[in-house]
Chains A and B, each alone.
Chain A
C-alpha cells in the first residue's frame, strides 16, 4: 500500500499577486488588522455604552468595562479577523466556495510570509520560537530589575508597586509566553515530521493558536501602562488580594485567557495529529519519546487549562460584576480560588517539564549513539506522571488553612511522583552507559539539564514532606526550587532542542564554540544565582519582598551579581543564532546521523515534508543494531541525502 502526500503543486506556482488599490484595505493582512482592531474596539465600547444607557447607569462611559470588553476582548478579535485568522471559516459559513486545493497560505517563500497567517506547521513553529524569545527578553529584563532592587536591603531602584509588578509580570511572561509556547513551537516544527505526516491535522486552527499567543503577551506587557499600576498580585493572582489591587490585575486575568486558549487549541491539534496522522507502521510503541511526551502534555493541557481560565474569570467577575465568588461577606469561599487555580497550575508544572523530557530523550540517544534505555518504561512513566499529576495540587496549600486531613494523602501522591521521575533520570543515565558520547552543544544542555533537574527534583522531595514544607513554604527555598525545575529543567531542555533542531529549521549550522561558551557561562551563573537561594530561604528570607533583613544582604548581593552574568550570557546565544542563521555553513539533511524521520529529509524540509509518506518498520532508536531501520523513504531521496558532504 502506498500513501502519497496530498497534491501540492501550489508551492511551485507563484503566490497570488499582491492586492492593489482599495483591495489592499480589504485583503487579509496588517492593514486590515489595524482598522478592524479599531473598529471592533469601537463596537465593544459602543455595546458597553448602549447597555449602560438602557440600564440607566451613570456614567455611560466607564473605563472599567470598556477596557475589558472593548480593549481586552473585542479588539484582539478584530485584529485576528483582520489578519485573516478566520477567513476560511467565514467563507465557508457564508457559503462561498471553500477552495480545498488552495495552498497559498502555506509555506514561506520570503521573510514576509512569517508575518501573516500561515498554515505550514514549520512556519508556525518558527513563528512561535521567535515570538517567545522576544517575550523571554522582556521577562528576563524584568528579572534583572528585580535583582537590581534586591542587591541591597531597602528600596533603591523602585517602590513596592514597581517591584510587585516586576516579579508578577516576569513570572507571567516566562510561564505563559516563554516555556509553554516554546515547547509548543518546537513540537509544532518537529512532531508532524517525526510522525511522517505532511502537516498538523488542523493547519488553520494551528495558525489561529499561534496568533492568539502574542495577544496574550502584549496584554501582559500593556498592563504596565495602565493608569494606577500594573498587575501586582504575583502570577498566582490569589483572591481576594488581586480583587482589591490595581486595575492592572484585570490584564493578567484576560491575558491568561488568550494564552490559555492558544494552549488548548494547540494541544487538541497535537492529540488529533498524533492519534490520526501517524505514517503507516508508526505504532504507538514505535513513536519517538518526544511524540510520547507531547501526547501526554497535550492531554494535561486539554484537561487542566480550563481550570485556570475559570479561576481568572471568577476573580474578574468578582471585581467587574460584583459576583462574590471570593467575597466572604456575601458567602464567598477564599480557598476555593486556590483549589481551582492549582488544579491547573500544578499539572502546568508537568506541561512545562514533559516536552523537555521528550527533547532530552532524543538528544541523549543520538549524541550517546545508544537506544533509549527502557523505552517502554520511559513512555509509561510519562503516563504515570500524567495521572499522578492530577492528584497532588493541594501540596501548594499545606499552610493555606485547608482541611488538615487532606495534607497526608496529598503528601503521599506528591512523594510518589518522584518514582516515575526517578525512572526517567536513571534511564537517561543508563542510556549514556557504554555509549559514544559526543559533547555537542545540545548534548551539553541535555547533560546540564540532567544534573540540575536532579537537584530541582530532590528539593521537590523536601517540599513534598509536609513538616519541611511548613517551614520553607513562601520562602526563597521555593524560588530556588522552581528555578532549578523551570530554568535548570525547562529552559535547559528548550536550549537543547533549539540547538539540536537549529540545522533542520534553518538549513545552517550554528557555531559550536559559541554554543559551548553560552552553555558554560549560563551553567555557572545559573548555579551561582539560584543555589544560594535555598540557603537564605531555609534561614528565613520570605519571597516576594522588595526589602529584607540586613543579615541576608551579602548573599543577595552575590545572587544579584551572578544574575547579571546569567542575563548577559543570553547575548551569546542571540548572536550565535542570528549570525548562524544568516551566514552559518549549510547544514546537511542529517548532521547527527539520527534515525528519527525529521532528519531523513532535507534541511529545511520540503514544503509538505515528504515526497511520499514513509513506511515505518521499526523503533526510532536502534543505534548500534546492525541492519535495523526506523522507516523506508522514497529511495531516490535517500540516495540524495547520502551524497551531501558532512
Chain B
C-alpha cells in the first residue's frame, strides 16, 4: 500500500474515533453506582467500550474511505471490474488473531470481576427474599425474622440475598447496584451486594411474570450503619407484640397484597386487582356473607371474579397460609374502617 493511503486511512480512523468517543462519553450510560459490585462492573463496561469503540472506528474508517475512493464512474454500467484480489494470508491471519486476543482479554477480566463480585466475606447480612406475583417481601433471619416490603440496608456491609419464588420466575434488580438475579420456583438462588452509597433506589422485577409485571416494584433504602442499627432494633421490638388486626395487617404487608390491591387501612393503592375497600359490595354481588366471601376469594380466587378483572391473575398460593394467619387476614379485611363503629 502506498504511504499516502496509510496516512489518509489513519486520518479517517482518527475522525471516527473522535465521533465514537463523544458517543461513549457524552451521555450518562450507566446510572450513578451505589455498590462495590457496580463499580467493578462499570470498569468491565468501560474496558469493553474502549476495545469495541476502537474496532468500530477502524471499520467505519475503512468503510467510509472505500465508499469515497472506489466509486464506479457514473457512466460505467457494470462494464469494468475492480482489481482481482482474492485474499491476503497475512491480513487474514491478523484479523483472526487480533480479535481473538482482544475477546480473550475481555473474558479474563470479566471472569476476575465475576469472582470478586461473588465473594461474600465472613459476616454478611443475610436477607431472605420472597418473590410472588407481583410483590417482593424481605426477611432478616439474623434479626428475629423481621419482615418488611421496603428493603433497608446498612452502608458498607456485604449483603447476601437468598431468593425464593412462590409462583413463576421473577428477577431482582437494583440498577444502581448493577446486580441482578432471577428468582426460580424450586431452586435457591443467591446474590451478593455491598452498598457503598446512602440513598433510596428502585427494586425492579425484570423477568416477565404476568399482567402486573410492570408494577412489581419496591424500594431499597441504604442507611448509615448506626441509623440502620437503630431502625432494625426498634422494628424487631414492635413486631414482637401484635395479635388481632395488627397481625392481620402484618400478614397483608408481608404477603404483598398491597402491590395489587387498594386498601385504605393499610395505605395500599395497587391497581391490578379489585379495590378491597369495596369488599362489602363485591360480597353482595356474589351473594355471600362478607367473611365467607373474603375467605373464599383468598384461597380460591377464581371462584368469583369481579367484573372488569381478568381471571387467573391472582396467585393461588395463599391457599397454603396457616389457618390462624388466614383468619387474621380475613378479620383484618372485613373489619369496618375505624371510626364507623
Interface residues of A (CB under 8 A from B): 159-161, 164, 228-229, 232-234, 238, 240-241, 244-246, 328, 332-335, 368-371, 373-377, 399-401, 404, 407-408, 411-412, 415-416, 418-419, 422-423, 425-427, 429-430, 432-439, 447, 450-451, 454-455, 458, 461-462, 464-468, 470-471, 473-475, 535, 538-540, 542-549, 591-593, 622-625, 646
Contact = CB atoms under 8 A, between A and B. Distances in A.
A429 B66 contact: yes
B45 interface: yes
A412 B51 CA distance: 17
B331 interface: no
Contacts of A455: 56
B27 interface: yes
Contacts of B312: 228, 244-246
From B31, B63, B206, B215, residue with most partner A Cβ within 10 Å:
B206
Contacts of B182: 399-401
Which 10 A-B pairs give the minimum distances between C-beta atoms? Answer: A328-B186, A540-B175, A624-B81, A435-B82, A624-B84, A545-B214, A474-B206, A401-B189, A415-B103, A436-B72
Nearest to B316: A244
B55 interface: yes
Nearest to A328: B186
Nearest to A233: B208
A545 B181 contact: no
Interface in B54-111: 55-56, 59-60, 62-63, 66-67, 70-73, 76-88, 91-92, 95-96, 99-100, 103-104, 106-107, 109-111
Nearest to A434: B83
Given A228-B311, A429-B66, A447-B63, A539 B30 contact: yes
12 contacts: A164-B213, A228-B312, A244-B312, A328-B186, A399-B182, A425-B59, A454-B60, A538-B29, A540-B175, A542-B206, A546-B214, A646-B77
Contact of A468 (B41, B185, B208): B41
A473 B208 CA distance: 12
A399 B85 CA distance: 46
Contacts of A164: 208, 211, 213
Contact of B187 (A335, A462, A473, A542): A335
Contacts of B79: 593
Contacts, number: 275
A475 B206 contact: yes
B212 A160 contact: yes
Interface stretch (B113-121, B145-153, B230-238, B287-295): B113-121
Interface stretch (B165-173, B220-228, B262-270): B165-173
B292 to A, nearest CB: 26
A438 B168 contact: no
Given A455-B56, A471-B180, 11 more contacts: A245-B210, A335-B187, A418-B99, A422-B95, A423-B96, A432-B67, A436-B73, A454-B59, A461-B106, A462-B49, A466-B111
Contacts of B55: 422, 454, 458
Contacts of B111: 408, 411, 466
Interface in B21-65: 27-31, 38, 40-41, 44-45, 48-49, 51-52, 55-56, 59-60, 62-63
A620 to B, nearest CB: 13
A615 to B, nearest CB: 23
B207 interface: yes
Contacts of B63: 429, 432, 447, 450-451
A416 B101 CA distance: 10
A370 B82 contact: yes
B100 A416 contact: yes
A433 B85 contact: yes
A228 B309 CA distance: 11
A458 B52 CA distance: 6
B171 A474 contact: yes
Contacts of A473: 171, 180, 206
Contact of B186 (A233, A334, A458, A624): A334
Contact of A368 (B27, B82, B113): B82
A334 B66 contact: no
Nearest to B111: A408
A392 to B, nearest CB: 13
Given A328-B186, A436-B82, A429 B204 contact: no
Contacts of B41: 467-468, 470-471
A468 B212 CA distance: 27
A404 B84 CA distance: 51
A462 B50 CA distance: 11
B205 interface: yes
B179 interface: yes
Nearest to B179: A470
Contacts of B86: 371, 373-375
Nearest to A371: B86
Nearest to A432: B66
A122 B209 CA distance: 45
A228 to B, nearest CB: 7
Contacts of A592: 78
B13 interface: no
Nearest to A591: B78
Contacts of B251: none
B202 interface: yes
A170 to B, nearest CB: 14
A399 B181 contact: yes
B187 A415 contact: no
A434 B214 contact: no
Contact of B92 (A160, A377, A432, A454): A377
A624 B83 contact: yes
Nearest to B80: A436
A245 B38 CA distance: 35
B100 to A, nearest CB: 5
Nearest to A425: B59
A65 B222 CA distance: 52
Contact of B106 (A369, A465, A622, A624): A465
A458 B215 CA distance: 32
From B63, B73, B88, B209, residue with most partner A Cβ within 10 Å:
B63
B245 interface: no
A470 B178 contact: yes
Contact of B178 (A232, A332, A471): A471
From B67, B176, B180, B272, residue with most partner A Cβ within 10 Å:
B180
Nearest to A534: B29
B79 to A, nearest CB: 7
Contacts of B91: 426, 430
B67 A547 contact: no
Contacts of A624: 81-84
B114 A467 contact: yes
A433 B91 CA distance: 13
A473 B59 CA distance: 27
Given A160-B214, A538-B30, A240 B181 contact: no
A549 B202 contact: yes
A467 B106 contact: no
Contacts of A543: 206
A437 B84 contact: no
Contacts of A332: 186
Contact of A545 (B29, B92, B213): B213
B178 A426 contact: no
Nearest to B205: A542
A470 B30 CA distance: 13
Nearest to B23: A531
A467 B92 contact: no
Contacts of B31: 538-540
Nearest to A384: B96
A32 to B, nearest CB: 40
A416 B84 contact: no
Given A368-B70, A423-B96, A467 B84 contact: no
A427 to B, nearest CB: 8
From B88, B182, B208, B272, residue with most partner A Cβ within 10 Å:
B208
Given A245-B210, A411-B111, A467-B114, A539 B28 contact: yes
